[in-house]
Structure 1
Amino acid sequence: MTSPKMCNPNLDEPAKTKYEVRQIYKRKPANIEMASRELAPIFGLGSGFLAQQRAQTLFTHPAFRESFAEFKYNYLRGRWDLPIGDFEEVHKLLHNLKVRRDPMWIEEKFPDCTEWDVTHFYARFALRTWHEIKESKLALAGWLKDVEICPAIHVLVFALMYLQLETMRDYKKDAPMKDRINHFLDSRKADKPT
């Protein structure tokens, strides 16, 4: 059993973890409480009620919510067909010393993102959220405060991935039928060999 301050995610199989997150998304948990129960093992918190509660505190932490609002505004922009991040790419970018030492990745003011791809948005989200949680006086998500950077980024990338998929599902439901049909037809055209 893990202690309240510890998390031990499996960093060795990000493709498997991505698949697991997609499977949780496809099962359509009714709310974040139910999703947290399934995401807790992915976050390395174990299973059971306490693990679920710990996972849930991450989604309710103001730093997480603010960073996600920024992500929605600057990356998703109401679209429902955008790529999701890749842990290995985010991990690689964040191990670039220039990125980790540049305050633009954690400061409140959003930087110029005209040259960014999904990896940069995920990196910004993960670093900013982790930094704010570590600096917070709130007990929420306290288990993430003392975690090393790699496990912390793993947790935050896969939490963001899940929320991105859920948010895009909502956007798709709200999209006009014409847009959904055009998207379907465009994707069929792209699948056909020329």
Structure 2
Amino acid sequence: MASPKMCNPDLDNPAETKYQVRQIYKRKPANIEMASRELAPIFGLGSGFLAQQRAQTLFTHPAFRESFAEFQCNYLKGQWDLPVGSFVRVHELAHKVRRNPIWVDEQLPDCTEWDVTHFYTRFALRTWHGIKESKLALAGWLKDVEICPAIHVLVFALVYLQLETMRDCKKEAPIRDRIHHFVESWKADK
């Protein structure tokens, strides 16, 4: 039996994992505690109350919250129809740039030419580095994890949170903007 702090996500089928995260999002869990219960197996933490608690600590860790605030401000910008990141692309970029300090520095580098993969990579590396450097016990299960499982966990946590945040942005948008978006989407499908 694995250690209770073990993080062993399934890295072999990211498309299925993204589908599972989208299904959790579509079920509209009432709060992050309920979502954490469903996300814990995806994070490789197993199921049950302790797994839920460990998953929940990720969302409450200051490094996660700070990185998400940066992501929200610089990528989402109140929009509700942006693409979510691809684990495979983020994973590849993370391996290429992980030793470059701009990806974990507190100050965001020039990101005018970035796409979703860059923002996801910045989020994942910055969050993982922040958790590893933190003296807090929160999300301690992610401190000693290798880069591949850490990126997996952080990408899919961000996918879920991005979808939830975009749903909230859509609710707050003026009706005129929502109708315009619907019409443009409909035209694009034709």
TM-score with structure 1 length normalisation?
0.97
* Other-structure match for 1:187: 185
Residues 1-194 of structure 1 mapped to structure 2, 5 A cutoff: 1-96=1-96, 99-192=97-190
Query: Which amino acid counterpart does residue 22 of structure 2 have in structure 1?
Result: R
Given that residues 61 and 138 in structure 2 are in contact (C-alpha distance below 8 angstroms), is that contact kept between their aligned partners in structure 1? yes
CA deviation digits over 1:103-155, x for unaligned, max 9? 00000001100110000000000000000000000000000000000000000
- Cα RMSD of the aligned pairs, angstroms, is 0.7
Aligned equivalents of 2:2, 2:39: Cα separation in 1 = 15
Query: Which amino acid counterpart does residue 134 of structure 2 have in structure 1?
Result: S
Unmatched tracts of structure 1, length 5 or more: none
Deviation at 1:57, TM superposition (A): 0.2
CA deviation digits over 1:37-76, x for unaligned, max 9? 0000000000000000000000000000000000000000
Given that residues 2 and 45 in structure 1 are in contact (C-alpha distance below 8 angstroms), is that contact kept between their aligned partners in structure 2? no
- Matched residues, percent identical? 83
Q: Give the SS at the match of 2:24.
A: helix
Shift >4 Å, 4+ stretches: none
TM-score with structure 2 length normalisation?
0.99
Q: Give the SS at the match of 1:160.
A: helix
The alignment covers a number of residue pairs equal to 190
Aligned equivalents of 1:173, 1:4: Cα separation in 2 = 39
Aligned equivalents of 1:148, 1:104: Cα separation in 2 = 20
Unmatched tracts of structure 2, length 5 or more: none
Q: Give the SS at the match of 1:95.
A: helix
Given that residues 7 and 143 in structure 1 are in contact (C-alpha distance below 8 angstroms), is that contact kept between their aligned partners in structure 2? yes
